[in-house]
Amino acid sequence: MTWRPWLCLALAGCGTSEPPGVSCPFPSASPTPLATLDLVAGQPGGPGWVDGPLAGAHLADPWTITGDGSGHLYVIDGETVRVVDTARATMTTLAGAYAQVGGADGTGPAASFNQPSGLALLGGELLISDTENNDLRQIDVSSGVVTTIAGAAGQTGATDGVGVAARFAEPEGLALDGQGTLYITDTNNETVRAYAVDGGAVTTVAGTPLVGGAADGLGSAASFHLPRAMAIDGAGVLYIADTVNQSIRTVDTSTGAVATRATFGVPLQGPVPQGVALDGADLLVSLAGAAPADSRVVRVGADGAVTTIAGSATTRGYVDGPGAAALFDGPAGLWNDGAGTLYVADEGNAVVRAVDLATSTVTTYAGAQSVGSRDGIAAAARFSGPAGMASDGTTAYVADTGNDTLRKVVLATGAVTTLAGAAGTASFADGAGSVARFDQPQGVALDCAAQALYVADTGNRRVRRVDLADGSVSTLAVRVAKGDPFVSFDAPAGLALDGGRLYVTDYTDDVVVSIDLATATVSTIAGTYGVPGRADGVGVAAAFYGPLGLAADGRGHLFVADDLDETIRAIDVASGAVSTLAGQPVHPGSADGTGAAASFHFPVGVAADGDGNLFVCDLANNAIRHVDVATGVVTTVIGAGTSAGVRLGALPAQLTLPSSVALTPAGGLLIASENSVLFAH
């Protein structure tokens, strides 16, 4: 079994080092009403789907971009078409719905697409190549009404004809001339086609269906190899990104003559042209290399000479800045506004970037990628996959897994500081503050009375202790109880502190163990060391399958997010009895319900309040679920199901892959999602 270091968990509030009490019955739940989701610290960002102000908008898969020159940009984003109002700096969805694949005509979200690729504007109509549906679609930009104008969804071929009688094979690039003709790169047919806007006739301009190659020539004598994006100039010359040939080809639409304008290296070895735009006599081309690191925007002169405007031929990433200091990750579609700004659909970073053509300076125009390691106040701080989290109601302590550090967040101000470890230096070392080293720390447990923080240092296969008074980090040395088959931690993940004992889930060894903090003795309380399974029972008769999140309710019970089993388990500490509280083994889903009628999809973090309320980070469902531990009733309280991207405000709001949750004494929830710490209250 493999463990997933990016899946982390969270624990509720302060544990206690007082002696354990007897096991009490589960009380009836009475959760504090939650109404809104606010930002505490960090900057939410990453792939997703959220409309609104550009800085907070989320894009899932931006591919093609164009504009009308009158204050609107249009972006193909996954299965949707988004529109940017540049004056208001807002993004909305014009048609399609996030993650909804189909070929239906209709209005707005009632319409569906299947990997749309090309865009062209004709007055108030937006023309789209719906690639995997093998057809051309049209959107009325004022109403969002979508209609099919040529080809037929699910029908492939190379037939010329009128409207829906024509056939395509994954049409992609579009370019509209000033004479009422739309040109299409019919990618899998290896041809360039033309669609007459008046009449709807589709004809083949250049290339021969299903005959790939790199030959220049006239009409059908020429050949292409998976032609994609293209642009057209005022003289009727098409400029085509001929991807497998790693070149820019031209087609004179008046004669059908095909020539090669520029090449970017030996086919299958050099960078691949992704997007094409015109800038006077020059071409602007986005490259995403066959060499994996190549991600840049270049200028191609009239003589075919290639110079880099921005980005790097050797490094992918996400950095705004001038020229070579800027980094992209798979730049795709381009649109030149004619006023000195080039817009880039930066697919890998799920953002739209803007390039000042006079200075080559790159900025982020819409969307955000937010990974970092910066200390700071609230939104100025940066995290990298924050994981386990615990809070005393004043301060949150966060295992910043991707940065290999522990962070401290003052809840009143959002001030973030690094408590221990150093970002980007995964290793092992005890010591104070930045001298200490961690390797993918995950679960944390807070002992308020002792002013200590316990940390599951997953990559180092150890449990660590942080003295909060001086920031010193030490390793918890443990000895195995006599006769216990436990040997050592393989992937300690979840922690819970209760009654002088620290409880630990070992993700890959499929056990829950107890550490007596007075004697440093470790013993297995449930599961069989190294034996995954799916069984309720007592002690070693029970079995887990990837136990991750762990929480104690202070009443003698532990709750386990049994991640790969898709269930929530309960352990009676006094007897060692394990039962399934909610979910169905290996039946992922998102259904609310009671007990086995409910379903989860990768539950990873849990927090319990001792009053019968259990909160679960349901990772793949982008949701926080509530479980009434007395009845097993599961309800979704935060998140919008499959929709990804953090959207703040009134609940249910929206989350992306929530990895940890912690309760505050007042009943609020701290949530780690999308490199940020959020607060539901």
DSSP letter (8 states) at residue 19: P
* Residue 78: predicted pLDDT: 96
* Residue 15: predicted pLDDT: 65
pLDDT digits (tens, 9 = 90+) for 538-552: 999 999 999 999 999
CB 538 within 8 A of CB 523: no
Determine the residue type at 342: L
Q: What is the rounded average pLDDT for all residues in the chain?
A: 93
CA angle 50, 347, 45 (to 5 degrees): 40
Per the document, the length of the chain is 681
How would you list the strands of the sheet with 90-95, edge to edge? Answer: 52-53, 90-95, 80-85, 72-77, 62-67
Reported confidence tier of residue 270, pLDDT bands at 50, 70, 90: confident
Q: Which of 139, 253, 127, 102 is nearest to 197 (CA)?
A: 127
* Residue 107: predicted pLDDT: 98
Average the pLDDT over 331-351 and give the result: 97
CB 161 within 8 A of CB 193: no
* Residue 129: predicted pLDDT: 98
Contacts of 442 (CB under 8 A, 6+ apart): 5, 8, 9, 387, 388, 399, 401, 456, 458, 492, 493, 494
pLDDT digits (tens, 9 = 90+) for 222-252: 999 999 999 999 999 999 999 999 999 999 9
Reported confidence tier of residue 666, pLDDT bands at 50, 70, 90: confident
What is the reported pTM?
A: 0.86
pLDDT digits (tens, 9 = 90+) for 145-168: 999 999 999 999 999 999 999 999
DSSP line for 427-448: --B-EEGGG-B-SSEEEEEEET
* Residue 268: predicted pLDDT: 63
* Residue 26: predicted pLDDT: 63
Average the pLDDT over 600-615 and give the result: 96
Reported confidence tier of residue 311, pLDDT bands at 50, 70, 90: very high
pLDDT digits (tens, 9 = 90+) for 508-524: 999 999 999 999 999 99
* Residue 17: predicted pLDDT: 43
How would you list the strands of the sheet with 125-130, edge to edge? Answer: 106-107, 145-151, 135-140, 125-130, 116-122
* Residue 23: predicted pLDDT: 52
Reported confidence tier of residue 291, pLDDT bands at 50, 70, 90: low
pLDDT digits (tens, 9 = 90+) for 468-513: 999 999 999 899 999 999 999 999 999 999 989 999 999 999 999 9
pLDDT digits (tens, 9 = 90+) for 372-399: 999 999 999 999 999 999 999 999 999 9
Strands 351-356 and 341-346 turn out to be: antiparallel
Q: Is the pLDDT of residue 42 over 70?
A: yes
Q: Is the pLDDT of residue 3 over 60?
A: no
Q: Is the pLDDT of residue 424 over 60?
A: yes
pLDDT digits (tens, 9 = 90+) for 78-104: 999 999 999 999 999 999 999 899 999
Average the pLDDT over 324-341 and give the result: 97
* Residue 370: predicted pLDDT: 83
Q: Is the pLDDT of residue 24 over 60?
A: no
The backbone torsions φ and ψ at residue 292, rounded to the nearest 5 degrees and listed phi first, read: -55, -25
**Residue 330 structure tokens:** 């798979």
Q: Is the pLDDT of residue 12 over 60?
A: no
Q: What is the percent of the chain where pLDDT is above 90?
A: 89
Q: Is the pLDDT of residue 72 over 50?
A: yes
* Residue 643: predicted pLDDT: 80
* Residue 127: predicted pLDDT: 98
Flag the least confident range among 261-275, 348-362, 511-525, 661-675. Answer: 261-275
* Residue 22: predicted pLDDT: 44
